Amino acid sequence: MSGPDIKGQAPHRRFSLFAFLPLLLFVVLAGIFAFQLALGRDESVIPSALIGKPAPYLTLPPLAGLTKGGQPVPGMEPSAFKGQLTLVNVFGSWCVPCRAEHPLLMQLAKDKRFRIAGLNYKDKDENALKFLGELGNPFDMIGVDASGRAGIEWGVYGVPETFLVGRDGTILYKHVGPFSEASIRDDLMPAVEKALKP
């Protein structure tokens, strides 16, 4: 009589262990996440293989019909990065975080220590024009990347992304995701200050 009871209990114990497996997995993953937070790492500052290397040598056409101060906004030329600090912002009108970050770009455009270039990523000209017409144009130049090939050359993970290109055309800094006031203050501006030092 004890035989059937023992056999009957073994599957029950095995079932209990499998029932706790998802909970155990959750606890382990939560612990890893908490550890990463405790380290204070900002996942929006992603190391890039391009940091310290020249910006991609690409010529991109302008956004047709876009003007600033009554003048057509030029496309992106490789020579445009030489001699001046440039913030290159990868954006698309279809990108919700781009819309959220745009007022901050408008504020950054007031800082005359650098200029802002836009890389219009996988977008339609009419949509990009409408986007900038509604929110304002912080860009001194915009290169159209309808196919996404230029984004590959820049090592874009997603949109928005922003690169700081030095006066010698070298990529100095990369920010993934939309800027916040804190990321501008704590990450971007120190990189700008460092780049402006002789």
**Structure tokens belonging to residue 98:** 């781009």
Mean per-residue pLDDT, 12-38: 60
Higher pLDDT, 41 or 166: 166
Mean per-residue pLDDT, 113-142: 97
Residue-by-residue DSSP string for 147-162: SSHHHHHHT--SSSEE
Tell me how long the chain is.
198
- Can you say whether residue 70 is alpha, beta or left, with left for phi > 0 and alpha for psi between -120 and 50 degrees? left
Q: How far is CA 166 from CA 74, 84, 95, 125, 149, in A?
A: 20, 7, 27, 28, 23
**pLDDT at residue 31, as a whole number:** 60
Alpha-carbon span 28 to 31, nearest angstrom: 5
Residue that the structure tokens 């455009």 belong to: 109
Mean per-residue pLDDT, 11-34: 61
**pLDDT at residue 80, as a whole number:** 87
pLDDT band at 49 (very low <50, low <70, confident <90, very high): confident
Mean pLDDT score of the chain, rounded to an integer? Answer: 86
pLDDT at 122 over 70: yes
Mean per-residue pLDDT, 57-69: 94
Whether 154 and 90 have beta carbons less than 8 Å apart is answered as yes
Percent of the chain scoring above 90 in pLDDT:
70
Local structure of residue 126 (DSSP, 8 states): H
pLDDT band at 51 (very low <50, low <70, confident <90, very high): very high
pLDDT at 179 over 90: yes
Mean per-residue pLDDT, 127-146: 97
Mean per-residue pLDDT, 166-190: 96
Burial class (CB in 10 A: 0-12, 13-18, 19+), 61: middle
pLDDT band at 50 (very low <50, low <70, confident <90, very high): confident
**pLDDT at residue 9, as a whole number:** 52
**pLDDT at residue 32, as a whole number:** 60
